[in-house]
Amino acid sequence: MGLVTNPTGALMDEAMAILSILSSHPEGKAAIGAAEPVPVLVEMIGSGSPRNRENAAAVMLYLCSGEQQLVHLARAQECGIMVPLRELALNGTERGKRKAVLLLE
């Protein structure tokens, strides 16, 4: 998560894309979930680049499915995810909009 939290990091876009891919696999999702990613993902959904916002929403969507769904959803709500998700659903990329709408359901 270190590459994602460094706002000047040149690898931030690539790191978010890789996290999105890894989160779609059970082992990757477990490893990402163990790193307490929700606050970082919520921040990225709210203020990242369009590509990073959609990738953060994709990671959040994968984390909010399966065994740890309620834990991650509760943490995301504590971090204030609803406003950034609504904004992404209205003004994001097409992929970002789809992911945000699924998370809002």
Residue 68's pLDDT is what?
Answer: 83
Q: Are residues 45 and 86 in contact, defined by beta-carbon separation less than 8 angstroms?
A: no
Domain total in the chain: 1
Residue 38's pLDDT is what?
Answer: 95
Dig out the tokens for 71 from the structure. Answer: 């834990």
Angstrom CA distances, 30 to 7, 59, 92, stand at 25, 12, 27
Q: What is the pLDDT of residues 51-76, one digit of tens each?
A: 999 999 999 999 998 888 889 999 99
Residue 69's pLDDT is what?
Answer: 86
CATH code where residue 89 lies = 1.25.10.10
Residues of the chain with pLDDT under 50: none
The domain in which residue 12 lies consists of 2-104
Residue 12's pLDDT is what?
Answer: 83
Residue 2's pLDDT is what?
Answer: 56
Q: What is the pTM of this model?
A: 0.89
Residue 43's pLDDT is what?
Answer: 94
